[in-house]
Structure 1
C-alpha cells in the first residue's frame, strides 16, 4: 500500500489552496473560492454556460472595437474573441484556428437631411436574416445635416453572410427596409 500512496498526485484543490495562501502571504489581493474535489465531471452544458458567462463579463483588459471584437471576428471565422481573451487571461491557450471564412459588414447610416420625425420598419430590418445587430438613436425634431463626423451617424448595423458580397446585400436590404420620415 505504501507504493500506491507514493504514486498519488496532490489534489488540484489542495494545490490551489496552497497557491492562494502563498499569494495572500505576499500581500496580493486574491479572490478565494471554497472548493472541494469533484466526485464526477461537470456536465458539458454547465461548463459551456460558465464559459459563456465569463465571456460576457466586462473586463478592464478588454480591447476596443466592440463590434469587431465581439461580433465580426466570430461571424467571419467562428472564433469567439471574448472567450479567447478570457482563456488568455487565465493562462490557457485559446483555439484561434478559423472554423470557416464568411463575410461581414459593419455599416453606419444616417437619415437624409432635414428634420427627423421617425424611422419606420426598424424592428423588421433588425429581423432580416443575417443581421447580427442594428442600432439607431435619434430623437424626433433633430436637425439632420450632412455627415461631418462620427457623432453624425446615429445608426449602424453588423451583418453576416457566406461571403462579403452577400453580407453587403444584407446591409443593402436593411437600408431599403428602413423608412426615414423627415420634415
Structure 2
C-alpha cells in the first residue's frame, strides 16, 4: 500500500453523523486521498462505528492506530478518547493530553497537525456541531494553503460549529449538503 499524498479531513459533532454516512456512501469505488474523520464520541460507550459502516457501505473503514502509516484511498476514524495527530512522516499519533474545547478527539488538533504536514494537499470539511471545535484548525489550514469547506449553517442540524468557524475565519467556502455529497461522488 502506498502512503497518501493527499488527504481529506472531516470534522463533525452533534448532527453530523448522517451527512458523514452520505459522504462515505457517495464515494466512488476507487479514490486516491486518505479520508480522516473526527466525530465527537464518548469513550465511556463502546461503539463499533467502523465495523457497522464498513458492513453497511461496503467500504473498508478503520479506526486510526498509533504509528500507523496514512495510506492512499483508506478511510479512518479517530479513536474515542484520544486526540488524533498527523506526524511529519505521514503517520498517525494518538494523544491523551487535555481536552480541547471540551473534546478529545479534537477537530482542531487533527486540522492543525494535518495542515503542517499536508499543506495544500489537504481538503477539510467542518460540519454540524454544538461547540466551537474546528475554528482554530480552519485558520491553520487556511494559513498553510489547504482548502477548507464549511457546511452551510442553514443546513447543519446544529449550526454553532460551522457558523463560528465562518465568523472567525472570514473567507471560507460554504457548501450545501448537496454540494458536499457531490464533491465526494466526483472524487478521484
Under a length normalisation based on structure 1, what TM-score does the superposition of the two structures give?
0.22
* Greater RCO (Cα-Cα under 8 Å, separation 6 or more): 2
Q: Of the two, which has the highest radius of gyration?
A: 1
* TM score, norm. by length of structure 2: 0.22
